[in-house]
Amino acid sequence: MEKSTAKTPLTAKNEPIDLILRPKAWREYVGQEKIKRHLLIMLEAAKKRGETCDHLLFYGQAGLGKTTLAHLVAEQLGAKLKVTAGPALEKMADLAGVLTNLEKGDILFIDEIHRLNRMIEEVLYPAMESRKLNIVVGKGPGARTLSLDLPAFTIVGATTRANLISAPLRSRFGASFRLDYYETPDIEAIINRSAGLLGLKIVPEGAAMLARASRATPRVANRLLKRLRDYMEVHSIDCADPATVKKTLDLLEIDERGLELHDRLLLETIINKFKGGPVGVATLAAALNDDRGIVEDVYEPYLLSIGFLKRTQSGRVATEAAYEHLGHDLYEKRSV
């Protein structure tokens, strides 16, 4: 058997790091307290009644912990988690295959559920409501609908784009949970937990600095920690202090608020080309030579959350905080 050393206690097992870092118990799932409380009540109540839990929807930005939560829900219910995704359920046969393979009590995790097509959604409605799978057999006047009974199961849907989920689908979930960006102390706790699992030493000020650059997102925090680990390995550093963290962030071209090149470019474009805004998102995306969807879904949410960007009726506006952060004279903004 492999003996783990003090420096690399868990990674010595050669498991993928992301799996090692994923919380496996509720107490390891940091933050999102309201969601955890509400969910645990639902899960306990279902368990006590011996019923399957209502269908659940998790939505929020990438990397905030939706998939992790789905695993914890299955764990809590002692249920098997079967995983699929919206784009994988393209044809009726794909969905029928998944549904008819379910066993009583199973959890069906549908990631990117906003990408289900209309036809599949319509087959899903009766399956979610009354556990019926209706299949049309044959064509034309001789076509018949076969109705199959499905075992009791729970769908856990996850999406980064809740606004793209149709109202009828959304209404079939017993509860929807919006995962928000994390508070900095929670991200710090995640960094310290992950550092412990990786056998990495980091001083509290170093962890705090890394947390501020993590875009309030656990996945980003873990990613930055992995890059810090690389830096420490190469430079034979035993314990990371703020200077080590700063050097790692500089190498990645990430600033102390977690802004990457594309974030700074977006803000600079609004400031320099559009006098600070307002500028419509389509015009902004064209000026950045980027896809509008990427601008709206990937770049903007964090900038909005830290108050560097504002959405107004007439378009996007760079805020005073953004001017200050990027070292632009505030007079520039006030004088336009």
Q: Which residue number has the CB closest to Mg ion?
A: 67
Rounded least distance, CB 56 to Mg ion, Å: 14
Residue of 66, 115, 229, 333 marked catalytic: 66
Residue 160: contacted member of Mg ion, ligand ATP, none (CB under 5 to 8 Å, by partner type):
ligand ATP
Rounded least distance, CB 221 to ligand ATP, Å: 7
Report the SS3 class of residue 279: strand
As to burial, measured by CB atoms within 10 angstroms (0-12 exposed, 13-18 middle, 19+ buried), residue 140 is exposed
One of 4, 12, 18, 272 touching ligand ATP (CB under 6 A) = 18
Residue of 160, 217, 244, 248 marked catalytic: 160
Query: Based on CB atoms, which residue is closest to ligand ATP, 22 or 226?
Result: 22
Hunting for tokens 């969807």 — which residue is that?
Answer: 293
Name residue 108's beta-bridge partners.
82, 155
Query: Based on CB atoms, which residue is closest to ligand ATP, 67 or 154?
Result: 67
| Total residues at interface with Mg ion (CB under 5 A) | 2
| Binding of residue 220 to ligand ATP (CB under 6 A) | no
Rounded to 5°, the CA angle 258-264-268 comes to: 155
| Binding of residue 23 to ligand ATP (CB under 6 A) | yes
- The pairs formed by 144-153 with CB atoms below 8 angstroms and a separation of 24 or more are 148/100, 150/99, 150/100, 150/102, 151/102, 151/103, 151/104, 151/105, 151/106, 152/51, 152/52, 152/104, 152/105, 153/52, 153/102, 153/104, 153/105, 153/106, 153/107, 153/108
Of residues 134-193, which lie at the interface with ligand ATP (CB under 6 A)?
Answer: 158, 160, 190
Of residues 110-139, which lie at the interface with ligand ATP (CB under 6 A)?
Answer: none
Q: Is 219 considered catalytic here?
A: yes
One of 41, 45, 62, 119 touching ligand ATP (CB under 6 A) = 62
Q: Is 106 considered catalytic here?
A: no
Rounded least distance, CB 179 to ligand ATP, Å: 7
Name residue 252's beta-bridge partners.
none
Query: Based on CB atoms, which residue is closest to ligand ATP, 114 or 328?
Result: 114
Could you tell me the end-to-end alpha-carbon distance of the chain, in angstroms, rounded to an integer?
A: 69
Rounded least distance, CB 182 to ligand ATP, Å: 7
Query: Based on CB atoms, which residue is closest to Mg ion, 29 or 308?
Result: 29
Q: Is 67 considered catalytic here?
A: yes
Q: Is 111 considered catalytic here?
A: yes
Of residues 54-83, which lie at the interface with Mg ion (CB under 5 A)?
Answer: 66-67
Cβ contact 116:124 at 8 Å = yes
Please report the DSSP string for 13-72 in residue order: G---HHHHHS--SGGGS-S-HHHHHHHHHHHHHHHHHT-PPPPEEEE-STTSSHHHHHHH
Report the SS3 class of residue 151: coil
Residues labelled as active-site residues: 66-67, 111, 160, 219
**Residues of the shown chain interacting with ligand ATP in the complex, contacts defined by CB under 6 A:** 18, 21-23, 29-32, 62-68, 158, 160, 190, 218-219, 222
